[in-house]
Amino acid sequence: MGRVRRRIRFLFAKTHSWGCFGISNIVHQLNEEIRDSEVRLIGSTGEQLGIMSAAQAQHIADEQGLDLVKISPQATPPVCKLMDYGKFRFEQGKREKEARKNQHIVEIKEVRMSPGIDVGDFNTKLKNAQKFLTEGNRVKVSVRFRGREMAHTEIGRDLLVRFAEQISEVSTLDKEPKMEGRSMSIFLSPKAGK
């Protein structure tokens, strides 16, 4: 028990001494962090205020109650803008969150069958594939051959072609049936506008 406590204390001491690192790092230099001899200053509404020293720009920012933010460090001289940086970060976070919410990640779903599949099971697999396609995902349909089934791969090819034909109203066939090891597969994509 004592050894475990020492180990936990040691791990805590290590992490504690290294400090805590934030997940996001600030990309822009702000206010006193800007140490360039001269900068090109842009006002809060976008107007050019001219080239001046960083101290003068900081003084103007302090008078207006805004932050001095370096937005283009590689320019000569570097470009700084007067803005409320906290509000800027908040709105930027909101835009990123909205963009993540609106994006749809296309996944590849897989439907597996065997060459001797029954009609009921075939129809169930067909319904599942239709559901995946209507959700906007791609579908990989594969037939796995075992043992002596390898001698009759044409049965699997016919099965895949029939599957693609029956689901053709909601999908398009990306690749013709292709043999990969002991399985043959096709890829289906949802039709545009569905």
Written as six digits, the tokens of 16 are 């504690």
> 3.30.1330.90, 3.10.20.80, 3.40.50.300, 3.40.50.720: which CATH number matches 29-100?
3.10.20.80
Q: How far is CA 71 from CA 31, 57, 81, 152, in A?
A: 12, 14, 7, 66
Report how far residue 28's alpha carbon sits from residue 82's, in angstroms, rounded to the nearest whole number: 13
Instruction: Spell out the domain ranges in the chain.
Output: 29-100, 108-190
Average pLDDT of span 173-178: 83
Q: What fold, for 108-190?
A: Translation Initiation Factor IF3 (3.30.110)
Beta pairing class for 29-30 and 67-72: antiparallel
Please give the distance of CA 87 from its chain centroid, rounded to a whole number.
25
- Model confidence at 191, pLDDT cuts 50, 70, 90, reads confident
DSSP state of 114: -
pLDDT one-digit tens code per residue, 25-82: 456 778 778 878 888 888 888 888 888 888 888 888 888 888 888 888 888 888 888 9
| pTM flag (> 0.75) | no
